[in-house]
Amino acid sequence: MNRPQSVERMIEIIKKLPGVGPKMAERLSYHILKMPQPEVDRLTDSIQKARQIMKYCSVCYNFSEQDPCQICSDAARERSTICVVETPQDLIAVSKVKDYQGLYFVLGGALSPLDAVGPDDIRINELIKRLKNANISEVIIATDTDSKGEMTAVYVAEIIKTLGIKVTRLGYGLPVGGDIEYADEVTISRAIAGRQEM
């Protein structure tokens, strides 16, 4: 017997989500079929609502329900330092460290020649534009410490130096080959304290 068509379709679509294999998609789908209708509604509503409410902050490109976002519109923040991260998840991780009180910029990814991700595919031009229009004294680069993140850091640093702005890179304490998003607060805190000029 084949699976009913509507189940097959649900599995096909869920399978495409990142980190979800065919077996996992099947398991999730059959679980959803057994869920009471109100729970299914809560699931799909929460997805639709988040997707529809969420926009990019036009200053830092973080996901936000308002524009500019909470951080960019916070007058108490130290406005001459920008921390550059790859993703909104990385921003959340860094923002948990209380000793950093500056602003942020989300690149939206990292350079990756093998995946055909070049400088125009992430927000390098938007970053340069922002740096030119604001009074920034230091950019802290907090991209991942894998090869893509390192490459991106070097590339971005070279450009920023031509603007006469000090560039530093989170260094101390970060495990090599790791993903910033999963680093603990103490490690990130040490990395900020031990940042090095590039």
- Taking CB under 8 A as the binding criterion, the range among 16-24, 132-140, 148-156, 161-169 that sits at the site for a second copy is 16-24
**Nearer to a second copy (CB atom), residue 37 or residue 133:** 37
Cβ atoms of 198 and 167 closer than 8 Å? yes
**Nearer to a second copy (CB atom), residue 179 or residue 198:** 179
Q: Is 20 in the site for a second copy (CB under 8 A)?
A: yes
Cβ atoms of 180 and 174 closer than 8 Å? yes
- Taking CB under 8 A as the binding criterion, the range among 13-21, 132-140, 147-155, 162-170 that sits at the site for a second copy is 13-21
Q: How far is the CB of 49 from a second copy (least distance, A)?
A: 5
- Site map (CB under 8 A) of a second copy, residues 86-125, x = contact: -xxx-xx--x------------------------------
Cβ atoms of 195 and 172 closer than 8 Å? yes
Query: Using the rule CB under 8 A, which residue among 59, 71, 139, 180 binds a second copy?
Result: 71
3-class SS letters over 161-172: HHCCCEEEECCC
Query: Using the rule CB under 8 A, which residue among 38, 51, 113, 120 binds a second copy?
Result: 51
- Taking CB under 8 A as the binding criterion, the range among 24-32, 128-136, 142-150, 190-198 that sits at the site for a second copy is 24-32
Residue 22: is the preceding peptide bond cis (ω within 30°)? no
How crowded is residue 165: how many other Cβ atoms within 10 Å of its Cβ? 18
How many helices and strands (H and E) does the chain possess? 7, 7
3-class SS letters over 44-64: HHHHHHHHHHCEECCCCCCEE
Q: Is 129 in the site for a second copy (CB under 8 A)?
A: no
3-state secondary structure of 36: coil
**137 secondary structure, DSSP code:** S
Q: Is 26 in the site for a second copy (CB under 8 A)?
A: yes
Give me 103's structure tokens.
Answer: 């602003």
Q: Is 37 in the site for a second copy (CB under 8 A)?
A: yes
For a second copy, the binding residues (CB under 8 A) are: 1, 3-7, 9-10, 12-14, 17-20, 23-24, 26-33, 35, 37, 40-44, 46-54, 63-65, 70-71, 87-89, 91-92, 95, 182
